[in-house]
Amino acid sequence: MERAEGASSGGGEGARYVLKPAPLNNEDIIFCVDVDAESLVEMKTTGADGKPVTRLDAIKQAILLFVNAKLAINPDHRFAFATLSKSVSWLRKEFSSNVESAISALRVLVATSPPSGQADITNLFRLAAHEAKKSHAQDRILRVILIYCRSSVKPQFQSPVNQKLFTMDVMYLHDKPGPDNCPQEVYDALVETLEHVSEHEGYIYENGKGLARVLFRHMSVLLAHPQQRCSQEYMDAVIPKPLTKKAPITESGNGKGRSPVSSQ
């Protein structure tokens, strides 16, 4: 991706990104869903039956929206599914471009109980590295989308140094910061993990407000093909922000040092 300098509409210095013409590889995408007990936390959304929607319910809906949209763009993309509790294991190992296969996998996706206590994603990287080599042999690329739900447990991993064989995105759903959790520390660990393993530009989004529509909006951004991406900083700058009520201005509220994770 080539970066070209240009003038912004406001007269200051701006930047635009220009893609060099190049063929795009079809994607093999592994969804790895955190099924720890925190995936059953209720969101600020109700279903058609009036019952609260859990994080896991919303995650399943978001994945189906992603799969349908991605296949509408290119029917040759393929998907597989894994779960994370104490460690990572396959849910549906065979890659498929069939929507019914995705629906079937999500039907058997259930949360674990009691809480796992740890989250070792080392095996995720091993599985992904193995599958990435097979994808590359077929002139495809591999991407991992990790959907993480724990507010106080940082993921642990061991990964070969400088072995970037696949792209990684992260979707982080968490509780508000409080005495019993530390979502900022978890978020920082997830950023470090992404930067350690991702071949192309990887995106990370967090949702601490419990809104399903925020999850769906972020998932739609992940539709972007890794070989066509600009940096996340540029992406966040150009995508219009949703309209929200203005917070009352206080003497101490200068907006500086704002935490990257949602606190409301």
132 to 48, 127, 140: CA distances (angstroms): 39, 8, 8
Chain CA centroid to CA 123, Å: 18
pLDDT the model gives residue 89? 96
Q: Using one digit for the tens of pLDDT, what is the confidence trace for 40-90?
A: 999 988 887 888 899 999 999 999 999 999 999 999 999 999 999 999 999
pLDDT at 252 over 60: no
Residue 93, number of CB atoms within 10 A of its CB: 12
The closest alpha carbon to 206, from 241, 164, 237, 176, belongs to 176
DSSP state of 100: H
The C-alpha angle 150, 145, 89, rounded to 5 degrees, equals 70
Going 56 to 59 to 65 to 68, the CA torsion angle's sign is: negative
Dist. CA 103–CA 154, nearest whole Å: 30
| Two structure tokens written together for 75 | 């029917």
Dist. CA 230–CA 233, nearest whole Å: 8
Average pLDDT, the chain: 85
| Domains assigned to the chain | 28-238 (3.40.50.410)
Report the SS3 class of residue 92: strand
Report which secondary-structure segment, H or E, holds 4. strand 2-7
Q: Using one digit for the tens of pLDDT, what is the confidence trace for 82-115?
A: 999 999 999 999 999 999 999 999 999 999 988 8
Report which secondary-structure segment, H or E, holds 102. helix 99-107
The C-alpha angle 46, 52, 53, rounded to 5 degrees, equals 80
pLDDT the model gives residue 37? 94
| Two structure tokens written together for 193 | 């993990």
Report the SS3 class of residue 125: helix
pLDDT at 32 over 70: yes
pLDDT the model gives residue 95? 98
Dist. CA 214–CA 257, nearest whole Å: 23
Q: Which amino acid is at 72?
A: A
Q: Which amino acid is at 192?
A: E
- Paired strand residues for 87: none
Chain CA centroid to CA 60, Å: 13
Q: Using one digit for the tens of pLDDT, what is the confidence trace for 131-183?
A: 999 999 999 999 999 999 999 999 998 866 568 999 999 999 999 999 889 99
